[in-house]
Chains A and B, each alone.
Chain A
Amino acid sequence: MQPPAQFVHWMFATGFLLLGLCLLGKAIVGEEIWNRRTWRAYLWPSLLFLMGVLMWPVMVFFTNSTIHMLAHGSWAQAMMVAGAAELGLVRGKLQSPYWRLALPFALVVSGTALLVHEQNGWLFARSAFLHHALGWTSLLGSIFPLVAVFRPRSLVWSSGFALVLVVVAVMLYSDRDVAPIFGHLSPVAGEQHR
């Protein structure tokens, strides 16, 4: 009954897409208007926190090596910390705006984990390519929430971060368990899936 890895990637892609749309909406209207309704203020940090929680079963059930376990575990923790920090800020329990640094931190941790735990080259298979692409996107994309901490009203940096999440969602949707990338598929990658 355990889903193949590609289905898990697609489920998380759905979460990232919804997260991206919410943050894009927030960037367009501004934080003040977005937070006018309490449920809406809690929506995206809760979603981020929930995705962090759901990374734990991924760590448990999809661990085929120590480095996979460390990567999935660090994602789970980083996403939960970022979600919790934003929840704390919305609730008013946390006051310092520097708690928002948890978001770029989560992206840096995620990007590093993606790059470190992918042992194959870019063109080994589609999943390997996507791990590299996702890793660099997360690492470079962390600049958006980082600058947004210091320029919270900037549409460019806030919407840039939202679009990074949408791009992450697109890449996760592109994942297949074994599939070629630009016509390349290593013979040792296994038989191609649909």
Chain B
Amino acid sequence: MSTQLVTESAALRRSVRARAISALGPLAMVGGVAWAFLQPYRITLLHPHGQGFWWLVIEPPLLVVIVGVVFAVFIAPGLIEDLEEAER
């Protein structure tokens, strides 16, 4: 196998890894949003009247979205940066 082919193959694999990392957060967010559509009554912010404290604070589909946002905003960018730097 020529050096060029090896390099191209490695570059393709690298981009797959970077894409996988950048997809993790949005995938979690989509999961949370899908859950919210399937069980809208779990989003008590939409109908807060008469809800107890815990029902208002802990809304599982929103928690899933928040986890996705945390990963996408705080973890993934630096990780992709380090990954691409290591691959250069």
Chain A positions near chain B (C-beta within 8 angstroms):
1, 3-4, 7, 10-11, 13-14, 17-18, 21-22, 24-25, 28-29, 32-34, 36-37, 40, 43, 173, 194
Which 9 interchain pairs have the tightest Cβ spacing?
A14-B63, A3-B54, A36-B82, A7-B58, A7-B54, A21-B71, A17-B67, A10-B60, A18-B67
- Chain B, interface residues (CB within 8 Å), range: 20 to 34
Residue from the list B67, B78, B82, B83 in contact with A21, Cβ < 8 A = B67
When the two chains form their complex, are residues B58 and A1 in contact, meaning their CB atoms are under 8 A apart?
no
The interface residues of chain B lying within 8 Å CB-to-CB of A18 are 67, 70-71
Cα–Cα distance between A1 and B54 once the two chains are bound (Å): 8
Given contacts A7-B58, A22-B75, 8 further A-B contacts (CB under 8 A): A13-B60, A14-B64, A14-B67, A21-B24, A21-B67, A24-B24, A28-B17, A29-B82
A66 → B minimal CB distance (Å): 27
B83 → A minimal CB distance (Å): 5
The interface residues of chain B lying within 8 Å CB-to-CB of A40 are 75, 78-79
- Nearest B-chain residue to A162, judged by Cβ: B24
Majority DSSP secondary structure for residues of A touching B: helix
B16-73 CB contacts (< 8 Å) to partner A: 17, 20-21, 24-25, 28, 41, 53-54, 58, 60, 63-64, 66-67, 70-71
Cα–Cα distance between A143 and B79 once the two chains are bound (Å): 27
Chain B positions near chain A (C-beta within 8 angstroms):
17, 20-21, 24-25, 28, 41, 53-54, 58, 60, 63-64, 66-67, 70-71, 75-76, 78-79, 82-83, 86
